[in-house]
Amino acid sequence: MKFVRSLAAGAALAAIAAGWSGAAFAQETVTVWFTKGFYKGEDDALLAVVDKFQKATGVKVDLSLYATEDCVTKSVGAVQAGTPPDVGFCTTYDFRTTGQWAFEGKLEDVTDVLEPIKAQIQPQALATTFLMNDKTKKKAYYAFPVQQQMMHITYWKDMLEEAGFKESDIPKGWDGYWDFWCDKVQGALRAKGKRIYAVGHPMGVAASDTFYSFLTFANAHNAKVVDEDGKIVLDQPANKAAMVKAVKDYANISQRGCTPPSSVNWLDPDNNVAFHNRTTVLTHNATISIAAKHLDDMNNQALTQEQRDQAKKNYYDNIRTAEFPNKPDGSPMTNLAAVKTAVVFADGKNKKRGKEFMAFMMKDENLRPFVEGSVGRWFPTTVEAAKAEFWTGADPHRKIVYKQYTDGTTPFQFVYNYKFTTVNAENVWAKAVNRVLVDKVTPEQAVDEMIARIKQIAG
């Protein structure tokens, strides 16, 4: 589905006053495609940026908003046809297309925009946009790091208490953590006659949640898949052994009956649904959208006062956002972050203005309201925005997200080898787990098959 907003152009004189490189010609237009926001606040903030840019430059912004899947598929088709917009920002570009487009020379080099402001951007976020171009045979900045996400633990505090435990009882060590939820919490609730599962554990091959969750387990076991030059290193003995442990560990949650049997076929919304239905006590999710739903509901005037009150109680009292436990080796978890990227297309008709629009968008006063409009679903990529009270204040969920980012992040493999976008799309990770669970092969065999397939795709 497409949503189009075009705002009237401002006076060209404003462009000179604002210091832009020349006034716009009559009806000069920059074409911009964005993913439609999950929350109204995101779209409102974007429209405000568009309005300010038009008034400052006299350039008309032809803005189109697309649903998540439509945004990326339409973008891919336009790039293949040689008719892309000037600017694109779809929240799955990073997972699916940015690295490949950079490698193929489909993106404009934006180093001249990012270099002067690089000190304002979190280094680990900026690094994910420094990509290889096979045409130039060197790396450069080919994308703008707009916002980012990472994996969080979400659990029902009141269900934990119903099982007879306090939050202080939750172990910090890896094995003890999962044993606690699967054996003690689930066991206590089952003893009360409740058909409750401790963990909502995504395992469906068609779910992006599965590969994000699984790679978090692989990261916990220190299973290195590629080096920074994009070379596959998973077949090295130490890495292969670590990946075997990760597959065994991930499958074990299901083998011990700790997640609903249907989770082997779950799609992306299903772990959220199971959590909201209170059939699971805990789940891991790549944003805090589960808690944010209740924040949204408590302000939704279409709901009854009773429903809004319950949503408020859920958000502030009943639902907790938490960090992952320490790694099996006892070290703190370094969190796997996905940086959402905006790009200027090399075949865009007005890429000069496209770069100007993104330079304008990346200003803190413009980017921060856009990111915060998601009520915590996305975390900022700029240094100052991350320090804002929005994240560091009293909100019980956002302050945990802030702590996770300050504890350190690590990028996905596709940052170093764009072909891992295909590896993830095929979900070789979930297939390995399913081979163990459904076909009863050993984790060692499943990992051997995984390595062979990764080499076929990305070697």
**Statement: residue 11 has pLDDT above 60:** no
Count other C-beta atoms under 10 Å from residue 388's C-beta.
Answer: 17
Q: What is the mean pLDDT of residues 4-24?
A: 40
* CA distance linking residue 10 with residue 56, whole number of Å: 7
Local structure of 398: helix, strand or coil: helix
Angle subtended by helix axes 364-372 and 351-361, to nearest 10: 70
The mean pLDDT of 363-371, rounded to a whole number, is: 96
Q: Is the pLDDT of residue 425 over 50?
A: yes
**pLDDT of amino acid 142:** 98
pLDDT recorded at residue 13? 31
Tell whether the model's pLDDT for residue 26 goes beyond 80: no
Region 434-457: what's the mean pLDDT?
98
Q: In this structure, are strands 144-150 and 379-380 parallel, antiparallel, or unpaired?
A: antiparallel
pTM listed for this prediction: 0.90
Q: How many residues are given for the chain?
A: 459
Residues 73-108 pLDDT 10s: 999 999 999 999 999 999 999 999 999 999 999 999
pLDDT at 1: 53
Strand runs labelled E in 67-143: 87-89, 130-133, 138-141
Query: Span 145-171, mean pLDDT?
Result: 98
pLDDT at 23 over 90: no
Query: Which tens digits make up the pLDDT trace of 220-264?
Result: 999 999 999 999 999 999 999 999 999 999 999 999 999 999 999
DSSP state for residue 342 in the 8-state scheme? E
| Tokens, residue 106 | 């489909």
Q: Which two tokens stand for residue 161?
A: 């208490």
- Residue for token digits 């008709």? 349
Note the helical H segments in 314-417. 351-361, 364-372, 383-386, 389-392, 398-406
Write the pLDDT tens digit of every residue in 254-304: 999 999 999 999 999 999 999 999 999 999 999 999 999 999 899 899 999
Burial of 63 by CB count in 10 Å (0-12 exposed, 13-18 middle, 19+ buried)?
Answer: buried
In terms of Cα–Cα distance, which of 334, 302, 348, 299 is closest to 409? 334
Tokens of 73: 């598929």
The stretch 42-61 carries a mean pLDDT of 97
Asked whether residue 352 carries a pLDDT value surpassing 90, the answer given is: yes
pLDDT of residue 20: 47
Confidence of residue 14 (pLDDT cuts 50, 70, 90): very low
Query: For position 355, what pLDDT does the model report?
Result: 98
Cα four-point dihedral sign 252, 431, 232, 220 = negative
When pLDDT is cut at 50, 70 and 90, the band that residue 217 belongs to is: very high
pLDDT at 431 > cutoff 80: yes
Query: What residue ranges define each of the domains in the chain, with the CATH number in brackets?
Result: 2-142+338-407 (3.40.190.10), 152-334+417-458 (3.40.190.10)
The predicted structure's pLDDT at residue 12 = 34
Q: Give the CA distances from residue 54 to residues 3, 23, 24, 42, 356, in Å, rounded to whole numbers and listed in that order.
A: 19, 11, 10, 19, 11
Q: Find the mean pLDDT for residues 190-197.
A: 96
Mean pLDDT in residue range 398-412: 94
Strand partners, 335: 409
Rounded CA separation 459/457 (Å): 6
Q: Confidence band (pLDDT; 50, 70, 90) for 21?
A: very low
Does residue 3 carry a pLDDT above 60?
no
pLDDT of residue 188: 98
pLDDT value of position 138:
95
Residue 19, pLDDT above cutoff 50: no
Q: Would you list the DSSP string of 431-456?
A: HHHHHHHTS---HHHHHHHHHHHHHH
- Is-contact 5 33, C-beta < 8 A? no
Q: Is the pLDDT of residue 10 over 50?
A: no
Task: Give me the chain's average pLDDT, please.
Answer: 93
Q: Six-digit token pair at 102?
A: 């950079």
CA distance 313 to 303: 15
Q: Are the C-beta atoms of 436 and 442 separated by less than 8 Å?
A: yes
- Write out the two tokens for 283: 């789940």
In our burial notation (b when 16+ CB lie closer than 10 A, e otherwise), range 361-380 reads bbeeebbbbbbbbbbbbbbb
Angle at 38 between CA 32 and CA 42, to 5 degrees: 55
Nearest to 146 by CA among 353, 377, 389: 377
Is 404 within 8 Å of 337 (Cβ atoms)? no
Structure tokens at 403: 């702590």
| Spatial CB neighbours of 73, under 8 Å, sequence gap ≥ 6 | none
Exposed, middle or buried by CB within 10 Å (0-12, 13-18, 19+), for 289? buried
DSSP 8-state symbol, 260: -
Q: What is the DSSP string of 168-192?
A: GGS--SHHHHHHIIIIIIHHHHHHT
Q: Which residues contact 39 (CB under 8 A, 6 or more apart)?
A: 292, 296, 373, 374, 375, 377
How many percent of the chain have pLDDT more than 70? Answer: 94
pLDDT of residue 27: 60
Q: Quick one: how many helices (H) and strands (E) in the chain?
A: 23, 14
